[in-house]
Amino acid sequence: MPYYENSEQLKEVFRNFWPRAKEQEEVHEKLAKSGIIVRFDIEQPEVHVTINFQEEGEDGKLGTLSFDSDVEPEIAVWSTSETTNKFWQGKLNTTIAMAKGEVKLDGSIAKALGLLSKIKPLFKIYPEVLRDMGLDHMVL
């Protein structure tokens, strides 16, 4: 089964993914307009990723990615790294995963589902990042 070797590898994947995600203008505009803060609490290995659309990044655009932030999210999503890998490749039925307890959500389910529809175009970028990093074995 695909998995991340350690927390640093998982963080590096997100560090490579985030700039590419922000380049998707249509997605970025929708997310920036939402002003949402989402935290992904990932286990095996443990990493806490916060995406904050109330803060400007170094590029001057709304939207920052950070690890172990103390900013309070509107939505917190828990899953294992294997489930996270499936999710960001568009290979996870989120509703079924929530029903099975593979994904746990704290916050507004309606906002989370709205967010999900906005980020779907990003699912094609994540496997590209994995391939570029030599992690082809993790591409589903």
- Write the pLDDT tens digit of every residue in 64-82: 999 999 999 999 999 999 9
pTM of this structure: 0.94
Residue 2 lies in a domain: no
Q: What is the pLDDT of residues 81-118, one digit of tens each?
A: 999 999 999 999 998 999 999 999 999 888 888 899 89
pLDDT reported for residue 27: 94
Domain containing residue 12: 7-133
Q: What is the pLDDT of residues 13-31, one digit of tens each?
A: 999 999 999 999 999 999 9
What is the domain count for the chain? 1
Judge whether residue 1 has pLDDT over 70: no
Show the 3-state SS of 91-103.
CCCHHHHHHHCCE
More confident residue, 134 or 95: 134
Residue 36 lies in a domain: yes
Provide the 10 A C-beta neighbour count for residue 108.
13
